[in-house]
Structure 1
């Protein structure tokens, strides 16, 4: 007779479903609304006859909801081959969309995925003014975008639009919020303030140019040396990492990225990310070159939630999301700190 020596299978111990990354730590204590599934479409192609090529976009939105506010998300330059395009910035684009925003991501001409050079256009490789024009074109063509992406048709609140940019994209956002150059001979001297944009967030953004004082070797060859935030009057939050010593842009260290807060008219807020570097925990992508020494699910989750809260209140003044987030972060100083001024 054969004896079955196998033990009965133990029942699987089930865990609760996780709405967030398991490693976000104390960032989970920052308040946030309920998450939704996200629907995304790319590439959407906007005709742009005055551009080297048509404008390619990714649009992401929650599957339900009406009167949805918009975020224009401007990518940075960066060393990766794909993140400086509509294919990057999933950690923040998906988060904001899952919490009630429609997020529109253009591929600017400076994207490494396009590999355009000075032989293609004298504005290469940064295409600073072209970036601004891309965002204005998107706002001009919202009807066309809705046609291309029927799932969002009739669901946009066109009176509540924000712009967010990371690194070089922060320069783009600052221009749309009112910053401009100091050299009258350059196009950047003209204001690019976009009144349809009500507020913005600058993530590790370039600071004041100071005619090249304290600028990094790459930035010295661009119009960034003339950049000034003195006229950036629109409401904005500036986000910096306190360990951001990105030499590509500056030799001044983290304080350079706070210029937009200190040298512009209010109202402004400054979020300082504790131990954060130029990637701010990994805003541009998961497990990527930009964040090899900076990736942190906890820091990233803090940036996600704090930027969401700021934009909710900036676009809906009666919403208490920002005051609640500030209060919660005050009890978590190891994650970061906020300053506000009017």
Structure 2
């Protein structure tokens, strides 16, 4: 991911449709599941290299904000034994230095029992254990696919819900518009609309 940012000039030159359209001052990162783990590291989360014990710091200051969709939470005793044994890099995840603005999106029923002993609340760790500014969007009744966000025209989800997928799109894009342009009212408007819905798909908290 960092290499892509290093080579934006080459990418822009190679794709004519991108020419003069990349704003290097407004870069965001977003990822789902393990992609969310990658995004958290780029936003400032740390871990310890299981091979040499060195602290791994992959934070990239060129990234102004991020969205973590159903991302992994903390390590330690929150992990099931098989994960701690086979993916030891997850065992030391530390969000205390993840200072960049981020929206954490978590499914209310995303228990992820194959990964964690803590149930759905584990996916909210990047919000609770990191410093602000952060927002947490909790999606009611959502599982790990958050309604089916894994890809265009993909049906690989246990909780298919096109309305929820549309809501994730609206809310995450609104968040990023405001995070990258603080004068833009999109995020507050999206939050107000969600709160005013008589049958809301989720709730938002911020710090």
Question: Structure 1-normalised TM-score?
Answer: 0.57
Q: Distance in 2 between matches of 1:193 and 1:308?
A: 22
| Per-residue deviation, 1:234 | 0.5
The aligned counterpart of 1:231 is 97
Structure-2 separation of matches of 1:327 and 1:255: 24
Among residues 196, 200, 205, which one is paired with 1:334 in the alignment?
200
What is the match of residue 155 of structure 1?
A: 21
CA distance in 2, matches of 1:226, 1:287: 33
> Does the aligned pair in 1 maintain the 2:194–2:200 contact within 8 Å?
no
Judge conservation of contact 1:217–1:248 (CA < 8 Å) in 2.
no
User: How far did 1:190 drift?
Assistant: 2.6
Q: Which among 76, 80, 83 is matched to residue 216 of structure 1?
A: 80
Cα distance in 2, alignment partners of residues 183 and 142 from structure 1? 29
SS at match of 2:23: strand
Change (3 A) 1:305 1:162: same
Q: Does 1:275 align with 2:126?
A: no
2:192 paired with 1:318:
no
Deviations 1:50-101 (A, max 9, x none): xxxxxxxxxxxxxxxxxxxxxxxxxxxxxxxxxxxxxxxxxxxxxxxxxxxx
Q: Per-residue deviation at 1:216? A: 3.2
Asked if 1:288 is matched to 2:152, the reply is no
* Matched residue, 1:139: 5
Cα separation, 2, equivalents of 1:173 and 1:236: 10
Instruction: Give the superposed CA RMSD.
Output: 1.5
User: Highest Rg: 1 or 2?
Assistant: 1
Q: Which structure 2 residues correspond to residues 190-205 of structure 1 after superposition, within 5 A?
A: 190-205=56-71
Task: Report the Cα offset of residue 253 of structure 1.
Answer: 1.1
Unaligned runs of 5+ in 1: 1-134
The CA distance in 2 between the partners of 1:218 and 1:308, in whole Å, is: 36
1:305 aligns with 2:190: no
Report the TM-score when normalising by structure 2: 0.93
- Divergent runs of 4+, >6 A: none
Structure 2 residue 111 is matched with structure 1 residue 245: yes
Task: Look up the match of 1:117.
Answer: none
For 2:147 and 2:22, how far apart are their aligned partners in 1? Answer: 30
Matched, 1:256 2:126: no
Deviation at residue 155 of structure 1 after TM alignment: 1.1
Q: State whether residues 177 and 232 of structure 1, in contact with CA within 8 Å, keep that contact through their aligned partners in structure 2.
A: yes
Residues 147 and 161 in structure 2, CA contact (< 8 A), matched pair in contact too: yes
Q: Is the contact made by 2:72 and 2:122 (CA closer than 8 Å) also made in structure 1? A: yes
Per-residue deviation, residues 194-237 of structure 1 (Å, max 9, x unmatched): 0000000000000010x2x1313552221101111111000001
Note the residue ranges of structure 2 that are not aligned, 5 or more in a row. none
Is the Cα contact below 8 Å between 1:287 and 1:295 reproduced in 2? no
Higher mean C-alpha deviation, range 144-153 or range 175-184: 175-184
Count of residue correspondences = 202
Shift of 1:192: 1.1
Q: 1:287 to 1:153 in 2, by over 3 A?
A: closer
